Amino acid sequence: MQTRINRVAAINWAQRNAVAALLCALTIAGCEQPTQTPVMPVTLDPERPTVLITGSSRGIGLEITRQYAMKGWNVIATCRTPSNAADLQAIADEFPNVTIERLDVTDFDRIDALAEKYRNQPIDVLLNNAGISGGRESQQFGNLQYEVYNQVMAVNVLGPLKMVEAFMPNVEASDQKKIINISSGQGSISSTFGGQYFYRASKAALNMVMRSLAVENKKAGITIGLVSPGFVRTDFTKGLDFPMMITPQESGAAVVAVIDNYGIEQTGTHVRHTGEPQKW
Ligand SMILES: NC(=O)c1ccc[n+]([C@@H]2O[C@H](COP(=O)([O-])OP(=O)(O)OC[C@H]3O[C@@H](n4cnc5c(N)ncnc54)[C@H](OP(=O)(O)O)[C@@H]3O)[C@@H](O)[C@H]2O)c1
């Protein structure tokens, strides 16, 4: 931890000095200062671990955000439209350790810009939570809306993969070095009962992508996991009512507990919110 703090502090100090020296030199030389202020990378409280979460505006992502806020972590809570995310804003108002950032995971330029903004910030847990189902009607056999498949894959598979690519240096620089992906039992090939082809395919693909990355990065000490959050009452499951369904609060707390216990020896496995293994 101490090494990390020192490293971050040293990088910041050097960068700030370099920018200050440049501005000073331009002023002395009588040049106009650049109209665009250079973007200074942001660093958060180095005494706290840091989590970055996608899809923090509502549902499970909102509750996971609240859990990490209460634990005292630095939380980079990302969502597509912060101005519409009143519940998330209320958490940020209560917890100064929460920073809201705009991020659509299909916007790769924005992902790169955010990674640049947090260039020197270690991220202990990168949490790919944002996801869409694609809706039920678009996935009715005989009336399949094929263009929806591309949207579902873009959000549920390519977005998380790009996030890992962009933020890997931040995870590598952290103490806990975890990348966790919210998957689903619906991505299980052995236990499918049919339907939801696009969504199921996307979660099965996410599982393969992340398991492959886990194998590649195990030696570097980076843990990459898949967690199923349970059958949760959110907008995602609107209209469904089954006794085994749990609240977003229950799911969020359980997922965070699973992440706390998820270590390098488990990397590349898929775990349920109960901590039990999820069948592939
Ligand atoms: N609910 C369940 O029973 C269940 C079960 C298994 C797995 N899951 C998984 O759990 C995760 C969260 O689901 P949920 O139930 O909380 O769903 P939800 O209530 O519908 O919330 C989905 C979240 O994803 C965000 N999102 C959608 N598209 C995005 C994009 N392109 N870029 C960034 N964020 C985007 C939404 O943001 P906006 O507010 O901007 O739309 C919202 O914050 C998903 O990965 C889902 O597949 C859910």
Q: How would you write the pLDDT of the chain (280 residues) with one tens digit per residue?
A: 433 433 433 344 344 334 444 443 444 444 444 455 566 788 899 999 999 999 999 999 999 999 999 999 999 999 999 999 999 999 999 999 999 999 999 999 999 999 999 999 999 999 999 999 999 999 999 999 999 999 999 999 999 999 999 999 999 999 999 999 999 999 999 999 999 999 999 999 999 999 999 999 999 999 999 999 999 999 999 999 999 999 999 999 999 999 999 999 999 999 999 999 999 9
4 CB neighbour count, 10 Å cutoff: 14
Backbone angles phi, psi at 176, to 5 degrees: -85, -30
Tell me the whole-structure pTM to 2 decimals.
0.89
For the domain 47-272, what is the CATH code?
3.40.50.720
Q: Are 43 and 167 in contact (CB under 8 A)?
A: no
The residues that bridge with 79 in the sheet, in sequence order, are 102
For the Cβ of 197 lying below 6 angstroms from any atom of ligand 1, the answer is no
What are the sequence ranges of the domains in the chain? 1-40, 47-272
For the Cβ of 245 lying below 6 angstroms from any atom of ligand 1, the answer is no
Of 60, 96, 59, 92, which Cα lies nearest the Cα of 77? 92
For the Cβ of 78 lying below 6 angstroms from any atom of ligand 1, the answer is no
Of 180, 130, 187, 192, which Cα lies nearest the Cα of 156? 130
Pairwise CA distance, residues 61 & 46, whole Å: 24
**Site to substitute for ligand 1 among 62, 66, 80, most atoms within 8 A of C-beta:** 80
Q: Are 165 and 203 in contact (CB under 8 A)?
A: no
Ligand 1 atom nearest to CA at 105: 32
Report DSSP letters for 163-184, one per residue. HHHHHHHHHHTSSS-EEEEE--
Q: Are 187 and 181 in contact (CB under 8 A)?
A: no
Start-to-end CA span in the chain (Å): 36
The amino acid at residue 116 is E
Cite the active site residues: 199
**Site to substitute for ligand 1 among 161, 191, 199, 232, most atoms within 8 A of C-beta:** 232
Pairwise CA distance, residues 247 & 234, whole Å: 8
Cα 168 to chain centroid, rounded: 12
For the Cβ of 77 lying below 6 angstroms from any atom of ligand 1, the answer is no
